[in-house]
Amino acid sequence: MVRDAARANASPEAGDALSEMDAQTEESERPILRFLTCGSVDDGKSTLIGRLLFDCQLIHEDTLESLSAESRNFGTTGGELDLALLVDGLQAEREQGITIDVAYRYFSTPNRKFIVADTPGHEQYTRNMATGASRCDLAIILVDARKGVVTQTRRHSCIAHLLGIEHVVVAINKMDLVDFDATRFAEIEKDYLEFAGALGIPHITTIPMSALQGDNISRRSDATPWYGGPTLLEKLESVDVSSAATSGPLRMPVQWICRPDPNFRGYAGTIASGGAKPGDHVVALPSARASSVARIVTADGDLESASAGDAVMLTLSDEIDISRGDVICAANDRSEVADQFAADVVWMSERPLLKGRPYVLRIGQQSTVCQITDLKHKINVETLEHVASRQLELNEIGLCNLSVTKPIVFDLYADNREGGGFVLIDRLTNETVGAGMIRFSLRRAHNVHWQAVDIHKSARSTLKHQSACCLWFTGLSGSGKSTIANLLEKRLYIQGRHTYLLDGDNVRHGLNRDLGFTDADRVENIRRVTEVARLMVDAGLITLVSFISPFRAERRYARERFEGSEFMELYVDTPIEICESRDPKGLYAKARSGNIKNFTGISSPYEPPEYPELTLHSGSKSPEMLVNDVIEYLVSNQIIDEV
């Protein structure tokens, strides 16, 4: 009313300014819909987005002129205007006529604002599709009317569903190429709905269309009188995607601690769900320390309240210890804290997911090392059948149990996408190799606790007059690891040291007799031996481990399971030619003839240590000389006394 009165008494110039303010207010108040387009390659995703932009009159004249020229050079429409080129920005995409990267576009109508992610259709770029889907509320899954529902259609539907997208529009495209046949549309619709019903997608709309010609995109098509549903734009403008994040409990991951002077301590971050106002009771996790909100600070002054999506700084009534990565939660409705949980994982790397291999897990601002402790099953995207497997390959989806080295704060993905989604990162290459959605914490994580004991490792070591440690010998088969380790243990025994030798072959007769020699089995082999070696070091023993242990990732994991300088990597560096000449069992010859699969150095890789504590050149020194080198190293590092 105040604004209406001001407009009535304003000058023409002031009236224009007020009208502009009204337009800006209306623009800011219009709801935003984030959606993605996906489906198999060449189903018309980029053309569809280009058509939406074109029909909404959001393409400038100079862009149209440039598009016309590019259509003649790169287009796939015989020289006609190729609307897909509005989105396919990479040169490689334009030359191949496909989408490789995720392209984001913004457009609006009088009723709504839109952010659209155009994702690639090729199977090898499925990881890009998962990236695009992670923040979307609706998925448009395109289906070529000539091909129908294909494997990639099902795979993208599975991923969209796992990522929490509840609204799916099935755009049955290129209907012009099947003469707008209603029967063909009904066949594809029935096929998809049967699949989606088993998957559990709650809201599905199917629309017949031609993105190239504009049928049923922003206008109803005369070619489909048998279709009575909405156009695509009508559906996008009207769909209700009210976020659970707004109505959920407070969750604010702490991104930064602001301490400009001794009198101020603020915790900055973006509110992921719920809201906050001064006086609200909160708790900081994982410490579980409680307080209440004192102020909500922004660059423009304090706020009376803040809600999901707001970047703010909270000050609390009490001085409590909060670090980057902690989560400020509503005191009466907290996130979970656990070190073991089950999650759906979409695998994005050409190197398979291996049970037992350590990865870096990042969830919000938290980062920790994790292992896949169990792969319960993977999903057959054609039938949705649960299939037993020991590893996940590129683009496969599976249900896994994960264990992290320190408890993390999380919500179930179904309740909070921000707090329940994570990525897995390869520790050596820093490549993002997987995306996960937490289903539930594992009950055993709440039932298993550390039992306090009075006699500890240092006491046991002192009783034995030695420093407990793990000497980890690694190298190719035939390099001399076991020979050197055996001679070393004899020398230490003569000196009165308390030792134990874990040898790769011997352990496979008992503890690891159920394991083969695949990459997955090798990872599990080292994981088990690492835990046994830790127990022996805890007992105060000098523990010698002689294993090929071919992968750096597993040796790094083993090192991190020990304290301080307890772990020493000894690389027995022997040329493969010498290893083969020493081979009494003829294993190398059998491997070269193909009779032994996954043999390290021949058909399976060996990754030499980059920074071992000691390198033993077995090809140029005798085992006795190398043992002297190890003894000298142990004395110089005060592991044993000089004899």
> Alpha carbon of 225 to those of 55, 181, 228, 398: distances in Å?
21, 11, 7, 43
Q: How far apart are CA 420 and CA 335, in angstroms?
A: 10
Tokens representing 302 are: 């304090």
Helix axes 126-133, 151-162, angle to 10 degrees: 30
Q: How far apart are CA 202 and CA 197, in angstroms?
A: 8
134, 441, 479, 549: which one is catalytic? Answer: 549
> Alpha carbon of 206 to those of 227, 382, 554, 565: distances in Å?
10, 20, 49, 62
Neighbouring residues of 404: CB distance < 8 A, sequence distance ≥ 6? 339, 340, 361, 368, 369, 370
**Sheet strands side by side (includes 32-39):** 103-108, 113-118, 32-39, 138-144, 167-173, 203-208
Which 3 state secondary structure label does DSSP give 571? strand
The verdict on whether 134 is a catalytic residue reads: no
**What residue has token string 């000449």?**
581
Percent composition of the chain: helix, strand, coil (DSSP 3-state, to 5)? 30, 30, 40
Q: Is 359 exposed, middle or buried (0-12, 13-18, 19+ CB in 10 A)?
A: buried
Q: Which amino acid is at 2?
A: V
438 contacts 413 by C-beta, under 8 angstroms: yes
* Catalytic sites, residue numbers: 549
